[in-house]
């Protein structure tokens, strides 16, 4: 399989592949990764690397997938703490007391689309299959965050809410935060109806012409990555500290899970990040 990206690296391609951001790999106190659809043990429509427990896959297979992925990245399976996403904007602060939540323990909060921590060896886990992942690393205070930004979360400015939570809880200065956006379905493939586009036009403090592209028949293409980038800049993140993935999930559906490419018959990817030093 051919792989080309200027922003991301494909690691362990012949074993348990995962993606990393070149810009985040420069930060020596974290480990991070973004899974692919390859390298796991799931079968059927979930073949082979599915990280979601709620789509009908065998639970033991999903657990084994997590263990394989953690082994490939170099993270401790026992430190995972997962989100409970429902396309809202609640940001949860997690610690080692939350180990296993959403993985080996039941979800204890039912609406969590972003996780933040400043505690060492707590591995954040969030889920994707076209929606936009957001990575946050405060290089001064040594705090991290992950967020799931579907179109509803993007309109709800979840990126801004993560920055605010990190500032409130960890004393983070947005100017010290490095961010990465994606991989996600990109503007080339993300078509929406007028009702959805109208929600983005309400973001009137931003340059909508850079992320809303009208077509015929009341259809629009959206660039969720650019919209999230603008939200982060409005929140005080320096433009030079934001990296945008150049991988579209639908265009790369042999490597990445895409809800639209599979008509919903799919597994799920995850982003993982932990403070390790």
pLDDT tens digit sequence for 246-276? 999 999 999 999 999 999 999 999 999 999 9
In a domain, 45, yes or no: yes
Which helix (H) or strand (E) segment is 234 a member of?
helix 224-234
Q: What is the pLDDT of residue 23?
A: 98
Q: Identify whether the C-beta of residue 127 lies closer than 8 Å to the C-beta of residue 85.
A: yes
Q: Is residue 3 part of a domain?
A: no
Sign of CA dihedral 110, 249, 26, 48: positive
Does residue 157 lie in a domain region?
yes
| Number of structural domains in the chain | 1
Assess contact for 144 and 30: CB atoms under 8 A: yes
- pTM comes to 0.98
User: Residue 177 pLDDT more than 90?
Assistant: yes
Q: Is residue 15 situated within a structural domain?
A: yes
pLDDT of 220 reads 98
Q: Where in the sequence is the domain holding 79, given as residue range(s)?
A: 8-185+225-275
Flag whether 153 is in a domain: yes
- Provide the mean pLDDT of the chain: 97
Q: Is residue 198 assigned to a domain?
A: no
CATH code for the domain of 121? 3.60.140.10
């Amino acid at each position: 399989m051919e792989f080309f990206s200027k922003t991301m690296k494909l690691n362990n391609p012949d074993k348990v592949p995962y993606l990393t951001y070149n810009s985040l790999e420069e930060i020596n106190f974290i480990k991070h990764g973004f899974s692919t659809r390859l390298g796991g043990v799931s079968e059927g429509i979930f073949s082979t690397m599915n990280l979601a427990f709620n789509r009908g896959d065998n639970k033991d297979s999903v657990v084994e997938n997590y263990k394989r992925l953690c082994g490939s990245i170099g993270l401790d399976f026992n430190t995972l703490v997962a989100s409970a996403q429902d396309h809202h904007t609640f940001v949860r602060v997690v610690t080692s007391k939350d180990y296993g939540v959403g993985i080996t323990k039941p979800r204890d909060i039912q609406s969590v689309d972003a996780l933040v921590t400043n505690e060492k060896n707590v591995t954040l886990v969030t889920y994707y299959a076209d929606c936009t992942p957001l990575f946050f690393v405060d290089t001064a205070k040594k705090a991290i965050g992950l967020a799931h930004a579907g179109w509803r979360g993007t309109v709800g400015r979840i990126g801004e809410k993560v920055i605010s939570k990190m500032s409130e809880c960890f004393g983070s200065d947005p100017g010290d935060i490095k961010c990465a956006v994606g991989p996600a379905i990109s503007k080339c493939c993300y078509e929406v109806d007028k009702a959805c586009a109208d929600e983005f036009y309400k973001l009137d403090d931003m340059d909508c012409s850079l992320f809303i592209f009208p077509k015929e028949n009341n259809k629009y293409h959206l660039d969720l990555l650019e919209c999230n980038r603008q939200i982060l800049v409005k929140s005080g993140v320096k433009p030079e500290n934001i990296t945008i993935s150049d991988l579209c999930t639908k265009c790369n559906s042999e490597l990445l899970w895409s809800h639209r490419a599979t008509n919903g018959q799919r597994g799920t990817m995850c982003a993982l990040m932990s403070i390790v030093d």
